[in-house]
Amino acid sequence: MDKKRTFLLATLITAALLLAFPLRAAVENIIIPPMQYLLWGAGIIYRSIPQFWIWVIMSAIIFFILLSPFLDDLPRLPKRHKKTPPEKGPIESLAESLKQADKGIYFKWAVANRLGKITRDWIAYRERLDKRWQANDLARLDGQVSPEVYQYLDAGLNGSFADYPRPRLPFIQKRKPTPLDLDPNRVLETLENEMENECCD
């Protein structure tokens, strides 16, 4: 290993020496003139500043260098931490969605989607399913809810608001009835009754 390293080092030194002579002129033309110009400009700036201000700046730098070891012992103002609002829970999000349910088909679908996910999770818990997606078809409700409620939950969980586009002439044509037009409070009452019956049984 030592011979290989020595040979590699000798090769690199030889290559550097061989390249040094051809590149000497290029280095002198590219690097040295800009450095000379930079030093010349710095000298002009230095001579244009009054000596008084140079001494003031130097004294301030020396003062802060000497003071820096003691800065850690000085009392510091407590940092103000911005209070981040708590994350909204599912009930709070559902309540906000219910307030906006009359604004359009998207908000109606958003409410139905939340209720569909709640129903799916409840079915998965009741049936002891390992994965929640196994309850996505809602078939395990098995006629326990009305067809309207079933279609509403299925449209929210497995459908999209894009399935019910606006009419081409909204001022003339009326939107066709959709399963999402069902009052979500009726769905909530049905789910509450089913959950209460399940607990009592």
Question: pLDDT, tens digit, for every residue of 134-163?
Answer: 777 777 776 778 888 888 888 888 888 888
Extract the tokens encoding 61: 């730098």
At 49, list the tokens. Answer: 């500043």
- Which residue type occupies 123? I
pLDDT of 39 above 80: yes
What gap in Å lies between CA 146 and CA 151, rounded to an integer?
9
- What integer best gives the mean pLDDT of the chain? 76
What's the pLDDT score for residue 57? 84
What pLDDT, on the 0 to 100 scale, is given for residue 81? 63
Residue 156 vs residues 105, 179, 187: alpha-carbon distances, Å: 11, 9, 12
**Looking at residue 68, what is its pLDDT?**
72
Global pTM reads: 0.50
DSSP per position, 125-176 = HHTT-SSGGGGTT-GGGTTSS-HHHHHHHHHHHH--GGGSPPPSSTTTSPPP
The identity of residue 47, as a single letter, is: R
Mean pLDDT of 36-58: 80
CA atoms within 13 A of residue 165's CA, in its CB half-sphere: 3
